[in-house]
Amino acid sequence: MTATLAVLPGDGIGPEVTAAAIAVLTATSERFGIGLRFEEALLGGAAIDACGDPFPDETRAVCEAADGIFLGAVGGPKWDRGGPRPEAGLLGIRKAFGLYANIRPVAPILAVAESASPIRADRLRGVDLVFVRELTGGIYFGEKSRTPDGAVDTCSYSTAEIERVVHRAATLAMGRRRVLTSVDKANVLETSRLWREVTERVVRTSFPDLRLEHVLVDAMAMHLLARPADFDVIVTENLFGDVLTDEASMLAGSMGLLPSASLGDGTRGLYEPIHGSAPDLAGKGVANPCGAILSAALFVRHTLGRDDAATAIERAVCDVVTSGPRTPDLGGSAGTGDVTSAVVAAMAEVARSAAT
């Protein structure tokens, strides 16, 4: 059987890190005997330039026909001056495929985090977090309006939207340390008070062996830096998850290291690094491809169900980040292509030693 991956390179460094992920996926599929083909389509600014629509029907059709979707990044200053926004394409695709749970693991590789992270090394030991960010609701998708002297964004959540993402996070937590941290702003927001109530109920009725704690988002922003090793699975709403995961990337040492999987109820997921299009780096060939490559590994695990191949990619990235070559964000001077070739070689080595 041959699986299809829809590939949406997007804008800025998106195409550069996407090429890296595809190179690693190609090598891995050959090595592990996985049938895989790629179907490229436009999203974001590239799609606006081509046809005026950040999420064209043709792209939707390519994604619908695919088993999984890979995205580089969208956006950039070129599209910041009015007109359709590239980000609308990304929000559209998440909503269109019901990808309500955005899984963002943060597992610092100590060999590099000790020098690249602004956080003291002793606080990074034992840090192994998984954020589960609600992705298709909240203030991102509420009604918006604009008048000459004001603007409104609406944050709304239904019970069902909270239930399904909490259920997902709790299931994940049960396979790990059996602790779930739910982050909200229940001292101020009505949506957060509902979030807390629903979370309590889901855990009480379906996960009686799970320890649940609630933390207010402002305090969480502080705890993440002060005692990150105390947390395991963290579930939160869309906007809080967006902000906290960029913060958490500094535990690993760079935005360029963090992958994500956006999942719905089926096996079709959207896999993307958490970083953006990094206009400051675009075209220079120095973007760190590891977040994109690790996102490809999540595709291999979640959509293709090939834990062996996914683990080989993850080990290879860990080896390369540990011993080099490294891109400038991690203190090195290597290019995106150097790191990619090193990961391909390391993956082959991992596969060889696993076979013997």
Q: Which amino acid is at 324?
A: G
Q: Which does 330 bind (CB under 5 to 8 A by kind): ligand IPM, Mn ion, ligand NAD, none?
A: none
Q: CA angle at residue 21 from 19 to 27, to 5 degrees?
A: 100
HSE toward the beta carbon, residue 241, CA cutoff 13 A: 32
Site membership for ligand NAD, residue 134 (CB under 6 A): no
Q: Is 152 helix (H, G, I), strand (E, B) or coil?
A: strand
Q: 333: burial class by Cβ within 10 Å (0-12, 13-18, 19+)?
A: exposed
At 144, which helix (H) or strand (E)? strand 144-147
Nearest approach, Cβ of residue 172 and ligand NAD (Å): 22
Q: Kindly write out the interface string for residues 243-282 of this chain, putting x where it contacts ligand NAD by CB under 6 A and - elsewhere.
A: -----------xxx---------------x--xxxxxxx-
242 is catalytic: yes
User: Residue 90 interacts with ligand IPM (CB under 6 A)?
Assistant: yes
Indicate whether 114 belongs to the interface with ligand IPM (CB under 6 A).
no
Q: Is 140 a catalytic residue?
A: yes
> Nearest distance from residue 287's CB to ligand NAD, in Å?
4
Does residue 93 bind ligand IPM (CB under 6 A)? no
Distance separating alpha carbons of residues 340 and 299, to the nearest angstrom: 18
Other C-beta atoms closer than 10 Å to the C-beta of 343 total 28
Is 329 catalytic? The answer is no
> How many whole angstroms separate alpha carbon 216 and alpha carbon 137?
19
Binding test (CB under 5 A) with Mn ion, winner from 67, 242, 272, 338: 242
User: What is the amino acid identity at position 319?
Assistant: D
Residue closer to ligand NAD by CB (options 62, 281) is: 281
Residues of this chain that interact with ligand NAD (CB under 6 A) are 13, 17, 73-76, 87, 90, 254-256, 272, 275-281, 287-288, 291, 329
Residues of this chain that interact with Mn ion (CB under 5 A) are 242
